[in-house]
Amino acid sequence: MATIGVAAERDVVYYPEDRLPWVQTVLLGIQHVMAMFGATVLVPLILGFNVNTVLFFSGVATLVFIGVTGGKIPSYLGSSFSFIGSVLAIQGGAGHNQPLAYAGIVIAGALYFLAGVAVHALGARVIRFFMPPIVTGTVVAVIGLALANAAWGSYAKDLFTATVTTLAAALASVYLRGFARLLPVLIGVIVGYLVALVTPHCAAAAAGCHVNLAPVAAAPWIGHPQFSTPQFSLRAVSLFWFIPIVLIAENTGHIYAISGLMKRDLTGFLGRAFMGDGIGTMLSGLFGGTGETTYAENIGVMGITRVFSIPVYVLAAVVAILLGFIPKFGALVNSVPTSVLGGIELYLFGLIAAIGGKIWVDAGVDFSNRTNLATAAIPLILAASGADIKAGAFEINNLGLGALGAIFLYQVLRPGVVPSAAGAGPEEAAGAPARGRGATP
């Protein structure tokens, strides 16, 4: 157990079972809220979900995760970017057919939970068999490519403010240092928002960069989150079944990253982590929230502070839940212009696609092997083409086709995989994305 000291000392580590003074716990908890905030609230803005409800359930899901994992894995759960493509597909436009979208989120959470049960019973080798880096990297890249048109549709609403937003986020991620470097999404949105406020042509209500503050003034300070219910359908199953693949890749990578930071082997908790995230996602979808996932931004904070104390994450979850009861805050977030959202989407969705490639590089995937080449090549084109297959209420869009293609092709062609690529385990998938966000973003 670590000795209480100055958190800035790099050799001091506060483990999950350690306790810090309450003042430090509160400040560190708020810092984790800030780290997850930009990506977590961006997802409901893109999808037309209620921001207060999403914040509320990010806190609830975090508490569920901590409980299911027995307080052994310090993590914060926030909105996953992995759900964006499927939600937009089933909505037919942001803010439409929300009950169907909630149903898809619940279904994905249930499948994720069942995958956790399987991993808990069988061990991590089941991940090694079905999801080597060539498959996980391809599925992640598929998500980024499939969302390209949605990003440009918002970006094109006002090229100036969108470009400013994109550049601000990219510059922040490269040139800032310390904790600020972990907040490129939040910084990009704030800079774009402020520029939209002072840019003359954005004053017109019809402008894609217009900031409408009237709902902010009308919203009360105190109120409860807006809860909604799902409407289940076969289409929800067909559009959301593959999302747990990405969530498993994300969560596996995050747990290995935390294991490395703490110098503790947490692989025995992989199944429980998947189950906790699955339950949190189901609860969120049942009442109008987004799908949940662990956040790399918060893991970055752990790396800086060396603090893994569970009460810090409990405090962060409580703060997020309390933010859910401030409607004026949600209205302010909803006032972010479409073009600013487009600017940050261009950056994030491109980042997701690139991280798929990073998974291949980190795992040393050999693309001179024709199995690996085919496993990646065909799904990427399916995603980029906007391919979509419908049969009555059943539909598989470009995201689902890309994910299914990667899994199917690898299993059919795997006899041609050289041993080094075939034997790649979840440790080598640790480069899986945060957003997915997803992800986050």
Query: Is the C-alpha dihedral spanning 283, 288, 292, 295 positive or negative?
Result: negative
Q: Is 23 exposed, middle or buried (0-12, 13-18, 19+ CB in 10 A)?
A: exposed
In a domain, 5, yes or no: no
Buried b (16+ CB within 10 A) or exposed e, 60-97: bbbbbbbebbeebbbbbbbbbbbbbbbbbbbbeebeeb
The values of phi and psi at residue 225, to 5°, are -60, 155
Task: Supply 393's token pair.
Answer: 């209420």
Q: Tell me, what's the pLDDT at 5?
A: 39
Q: What is the pLDDT along the chain (441 residues), one digit of tens a residue?
A: 333 333 444 456 888 898 888 988 888 888 788 778 777 888 888 888 998 999 999 999 999 999 999 999 999 998 988 898 889 888 876 667 899 999 999 999 999 999 999 999 988 788 778 888 898 888 888 888 888 888 898 899 999 999 999 999 899 888 988 777 777 888 888 999 999 999 999 988 888 899 988 888 888 999 888 899 999 888 888 889 888 888 887 888 788 878 888 888 888 899 999 999 999 999 999 999 999 988 877 877 787 778 899 999 999 999 999 999 999 988 888 888 989 988 988 988 888 888 888 889 888 999 999 999 999 999 999 988 888 787 766 777 787 888 888 888 998 988 765 544 433 433 333 333 333 333 333
In a domain, 363, yes or no: yes
In a domain, 16, yes or no: no
Q: Tell me, what's the pLDDT at 339?
A: 92
pTM for the whole structure: 0.78
Q: Where are the alpha helices (DSSP H) in 147-232?
A: 148-155, 159-175, 184-198, 214-218
Q: Give the residue carrying structure tokens 């979840």.
A: 426
Task: Supply 227's token pair.
Answer: 């809860």
Q: Tell me, what's the pLDDT at 418?
A: 54
Q: Please tell me the distance from the alpha carbon of residue 355 to that of residue 351, in angstroms, as a whole number.
A: 6
Radius of gyration from C-alpha coordinates of the chain = 21
In a domain, 221, yes or no: yes
Q: How many domains does the chain have?
A: 1
**In terms of DSSP bridges, do strands 292-294 and 77-79 run parallel, antiparallel, or are they unpaired?**
antiparallel
In a domain, 440, yes or no: no
Q: Tell me, what's the pLDDT at 249?
A: 79
In a domain, 1, yes or no: no
Q: Tell me, what's the pLDDT at 417?
A: 58
In a domain, 355, yes or no: yes
In a domain, 77, yes or no: yes
Q: Which range marks the domain in which residue 255 is found? A: 22-429
